[in-house]
Chains A and B, each alone.
Chain A
Amino acid sequence: MIDKIFFNFTRFSALLILIIVAWIFTVLFNHSLEAMNTFGLDFITKDEWAPNLDKFGTQAAILGSIISTFLAMLLAVPVAIGVAIFLSEIAHPKIKGLFGVSVELLAAIPSVIYGMWGLFFFVPIIRDIFGGLGIGLLAAGIILAIMILPFMAAVTRDAMNTTPDILKESAYALGGTQWDVIKDIIIPYAKAGIIGSLILALGRAIGETMAVTFVMGNVHHVPKSILDPTTSIPVTLANEFTEADSSLYFSSLFGLALTLLIMSFVVIAIAKFYFLRKARRA
């Protein structure tokens, strides 16, 4: 009797996850219907965002999300791979442990703090070097890169560490140098895991709000250069959700939220179910 109740409790809790996810999709979809019906494809292909005229085109936000994430990956991936190599192959065991833990702790620092740092300390530097306002895609990309770096390095290192010692030793036994072993053995062996980790970091970067909200500018124009202020999906949501005053405005924001959710869902699913699963099987 109690057994049965306990079982049902646990099963309901587990099913609740599926229910919540389905509910999130349904709610976001229903609320964005108005915008989709009103604008059709214009919703994603136009960048005119004029709440006072009830015109909502999200192209700038979508492009802003994609470009800032792309910039962040471009900057973070090589450094993260370097850090991962350093942590798994080069560093002295003691440094490995210490550095490894601090990288993981840094990954836990709230992203809003990265954003604050970016606004007060990094944007002025960009302004000094490149001129302009300092805020925009470049600042967002760099701060996003710094923010995802610890996570990316930690998971990439974990993927590299799955290479069996005996395989590495075999390559050393043939007269390989450390770099030979890294590029010929570790990276090919852990390839799926490394790619999966990088894509997973990408999935997180797309949805990251607070690190970029400070420095993006929230201007709904497709920028001419990466130095111009623009916006991204999370930035638009963070800035405008509490200001929306018409149902079409709200509906457009929900449409953006749904777009963001689908984008990150797809990216994360590819990372987890294609690459990381393949890595685990190997």
Chain B
Amino acid sequence: MASIIDIKEECALHVRDFEFTYKGAESPSLKKITMPIAKHSITALIGPSGCGKTTLLRSFNRMHDLYPGNSYAGEIEFEGRNILGPKEDLIHLRTKIGMIFQKPTAFPMSIFDNVAYGLRLQGIKNKTELKDRVEKALQDAAIWKEVGDRLKNDANGLSGGQQQRLCIARAIAVEPEVLLFDEPTSALDPISTQGIERLVIELKERVSIIIVTHNMQQAARVSDYTGFMYLGELIELGETEKLFVTPKEKLTQEYITGKFG
């Protein structure tokens, strides 16, 4: 019944018959989801609260493993393997698939140390290399101009929008293949939101992006593909322009026209 298009591009990730069950729940929260995620493009996930879009997003870097008792079924293919396998190296996986959260999550350390954190975890100790890569990440995240002269300052002194761009810099510094955005602008003002959206679009040159948003306009503005989810199922996946104009499913139609939400 779901309407899933075939994408033209190569896949960054491929989800097949994926199911996810929270600890102690009787039925899965995500049911039989199959979807391709295109490389070097932006895929948005929309749907009403509780539809499972964030749950799906957090499956891509196996964030659910932090809390015991949750279970996966089916397959998520990444770099030619199923990342749901028991032998998957989560530390490695998470450096390949980065994540940005609903709220800015500046660590309690300096701006420089925040961005260098992931690099240091990978064992990079060389000072010049660290400095170069931190600077590049901050430039790529369009925040270098604002913080370049005060890298030693506490990151928590930055504004919300700046902190969120700092988090993006921190995530891209380790050069991931995929970036997951979980409602990255929900805690930000409209101007900061605009800045983040512009940045997300620029970033797709280098990474594949999946963005969860509760804001349909945002999905329409930034994404190439949009998936609409409802009650744990992927109802429709299509090119963003087409999905918002001529949805194939009645439920999608009703949601984007505001009949429920």
Interface residues of A in 156-187 (CB under 8 A from B): 164, 166-177, 180, 184-185
A172 close to B101 (CB less than 8 A): no
Cβ–Cβ < 8 Å partners of B94 in chain A = 172-175
Contact with A along B91-129 (1 / 0, CB 8 A): 110110011011101011100000001100110000000
Indicate whether A188 reaches chain B with its CB closer than 8 angstroms. Answer: yes
A175 close to B107 (CB less than 8 A): no
A166 close to B101 (CB less than 8 A): yes
Indicate whether A92 reaches chain B with its CB closer than 8 angstroms. Answer: yes
A167 to B105, CA, bound (A): 5
A174 close to B109 (CB less than 8 A): no
Indicate whether B12 reaches chain A with its CB closer than 8 angstroms. Answer: no
CB < 8 Å A-B pair total: 62
Contact with A along B163-196 (1 / 0, CB 8 A): 0000100110010000000000000000000000
Contact A175 B91, CB 8 Å, known A93-B68, A170-B107, A185-B107: yes
A93 to B174, CA, bound (A): 32
Indicate whether A189 reaches chain B with its CB closer than 8 angstroms. Answer: yes
A174 to B90, CA, bound (A): 10
Chain B nearest CB from A167 CB (Å) reads 5
> Looking across the interface, which residue of chain A has its beta carbon closest to that of B97?
A173
Chain B nearest CB from A39 CB (Å) reads 49
Chain B nearest CB from A278 CB (Å) reads 13
B118 close to A174 (CB less than 8 A): yes
Contact with B along A237-277 (1 / 0, CB 8 A): 00000000000000000000000000000000000000000
Indicate whether B63 reaches chain A with its CB closer than 8 angstroms. Answer: yes
Indicate whether B61 reaches chain A with its CB closer than 8 angstroms. Answer: yes
Indicate whether B66 reaches chain A with its CB closer than 8 angstroms. Answer: yes
Chain A nearest CB from B243 CB (Å) reads 28
Cβ–Cβ < 8 Å partners of A166 in chain B = 101-103, 105
Chain B nearest CB from A37 CB (Å) reads 52
A92 to B167, CA, bound (A): 30
Cβ–Cβ < 8 Å partners of B63 in chain A = 169, 172-173
A24 to B257, CA, bound (A): 72
Chain A nearest CB from B82 CB (Å) reads 20
> Looking across the interface, which residue of chain A has its beta carbon closest to that of B91?
A175
Cβ–Cβ < 8 Å partners of A176 in chain B = 91, 121
**Interface bin, chain A:** 20 to 34
Cβ–Cβ < 8 Å partners of A167 in chain B = 105, 107
Contact A175 B105, CB 8 Å, known A169-B63, A170-B167, A184-B117: no
A175 close to B167 (CB less than 8 A): no
Chain B nearest CB from A280 CB (Å) reads 15
Contact A189 B108, CB 8 Å, known A174-B117, A174-B174, A175-B118: yes
B101 close to A184 (CB less than 8 A): no
Contact A188 B95, CB 8 Å, known A166-B102, A171-B117, A174-B121: no
Cβ–Cβ < 8 Å partners of A191 in chain B = 108
A176 to B109, CA, bound (A): 16
A171 close to B107 (CB less than 8 A): yes
Cβ–Cβ < 8 Å partners of A177 in chain B = 91
A185 to B63, CA, bound (A): 17
Chain B nearest CB from A191 CB (Å) reads 8
Q: Which 10 A-B pairs have the closest CB atoms?
A: A170-B105, A173-B99, A174-B118, A175-B95, A188-B108, A175-B94, A175-B91, A189-B108, A167-B105, A166-B101
B-to-A contact residues, CB < 8 Å: 61, 63, 66, 68, 91-92, 94-95, 98-99, 101-103, 105, 107-109, 117-118, 121-122, 167, 170-171, 174
Q: List 22 A-B contacts (CB under 8 A).
A: A166-B103, A167-B105, A168-B66, A169-B63, A169-B101, A170-B101, A170-B105, A172-B66, A173-B61, A173-B94, A175-B91, A175-B92, A175-B94, A175-B118, A175-B174, A177-B91, A180-B121, A184-B107, A185-B107, A188-B108, A189-B108, A191-B108
A-to-B contact residues, CB < 8 Å: 92-93, 164, 166-177, 180, 184-185, 188-189, 191
Q: Given A166-B102, A172-B63, A176-B91, list of 14 further CB < 8 A pairs?
A: A166-B105, A168-B66, A169-B99, A169-B105, A170-B99, A174-B170, A174-B171, A174-B174, A175-B118, A175-B121, A175-B122, A184-B107, A185-B107, A188-B108
